[in-house]
Amino acid sequence: MTHTSGTRRARTDRLVSWAGALAFAGLLAPVLGLVLWSLLEALALGGFELRLFAALVGSLELCALALLFGLPTGLLAGLHVAELAGPRVARAVRMIADVLAGAPPLLFGVLVHSTVASFTGASSLLPSALALGLFIAPAMARATEELLSLVPEGLREAALGLGLAPWRVVLFVCLPSVRSSLGGVALALGARALGEAAPLLFTAGAVRGLGAAVFGDSPSLALGLYASMSSADPAEQGKAWAAAFVLLVTVVAASALGRSVGERRA
């Protein structure tokens, strides 16, 4: 290796490093810019008001209820595939979960709208939560299955060798050993559900174009944002930006929290 080629190679290495850092910055810049931009726009247009926080609370409620539907369903389906089903059934359920995970989330709203929504009366909370639950469940099922497949065989055998029933081994030994990762997945899915507005268009009643009413009737940040932005009224647009800011901060914080929870060693 000659001296010149050595420095040229070192220079290439540095160049690639800087270019890579730039690319990564380009990847994150829109997000950070978005946070700042929405904050400034909202402040300029006077979008922050108390009702916004009612909408945040409504969103969180909705999200919690959706997790309540989606997480157990997904967890159980994942357990079924990982621990109980034969290879053929496992492949079928895996495929079903993939079909659902690949479906436009809007379709869950359509499904709930045209099936159960007629039974739940005036309340839009329950059908909305059901639709978002359907959005959460397939991803949870796949994550559960993959995490369980990472549980070392020795741990499983240790528990079985102690004369524990297989279901106890799964519930009290295998699942606890991946609980922090599962918690991280759950938080990340909650964050996704929090910002998902498309299914709500169908479950939260006719809201489009009624920006002002949304915050009162069916408080959801994501939906409120969608309704407000189409208004030409600057005050409404200010609300949209304020909703965007609060939504962004909540969602990014929740998923960052999900990462730290998921990485904590059990």
Which positions from 29 through 68 interact with other proteins, judged by CB under 8 A? Answer: 30-31, 34, 37-38
Distances (CA, A) of 240 to 33, 101, 126: 16, 28, 25
Binding positions for other proteins, 98-157, rule CB under 8 A: 98-108, 110-111, 114-115, 134, 137-138, 141, 146, 149-150, 152-157
Q: Does 233 bind other proteins (CB under 8 A)?
A: no
Distances (CA, A) of 231 to 41, 199, 225: 15, 21, 10
- Choosing from 63, 185, 204, 222, the residue that interacts with other proteins (CB under 8 A) is 222
Distance CA 147, CA 174 (A): 9
Q: How far is the CB of 121 from other proteins (least distance, A)?
A: 19
Compute how many residues bind other proteins; rule: CB under 8 A. 120
Look at residues 209, 242, 245, 247 and name the one whose alpha carbon lies nearest to residue 228.
209
Q: Compose the 177-206 pattern: x for residues touching other proteins by CB under 8 A, - for all others.
A: x----------x--xx-xxxxx--xx---x
- Choosing from 43, 54, 60, 160, the residue that interacts with other proteins (CB under 8 A) is 160
Residue at 197: amino acid letter: A
Q: Does 242 bind other proteins (CB under 8 A)?
A: no
Q: Compose the 89-108 pattern: x for residues touching other proteins by CB under 8 A, - for all others.
A: x--xx-xxxxxxxxxxxxxx
- Choosing from 117, 132, 214, 240, the residue that interacts with other proteins (CB under 8 A) is 240
Question: Which stretch in 23-31, 43-51, 120-128, 210-218 sits in contact with other proteins by CB under 8 A?
Answer: 23-31
CB 223 within 8 A of CB 217: no
Neighbours of 168 (CB within 10 A): 14
Question: Which stretch in 12-20, 42-50, 118-126, 209-217 sits in contact with other proteins by CB under 8 A?
Answer: 12-20
Q: How far is the CB of 125 from other proteins (least distance, A)?
A: 19
Nearer to other proteins, 57 or 165 (CB): 165
- Choosing from 5, 50, 161, 232, the residue that interacts with other proteins (CB under 8 A) is 161
Q: Does 24 bind other proteins (CB under 8 A)?
A: yes
- Choosing from 73, 120, 175, 231, the residue that interacts with other proteins (CB under 8 A) is 73
Distance CA 154, CA 168 (A): 16
Q: What sign results for the dihedral spanned by CA atoms 77, 102, 25, 47? A: negative
Distance CA 246, CA 135 (A): 22
Nearer to other proteins, 43 or 252 (CB): 252
CB 130 within 8 A of CB 113: no
What token pair was written down for 138?
Answer: 């397939």
SS3 category, 171: helix
CB 243 within 8 A of CB 220: no
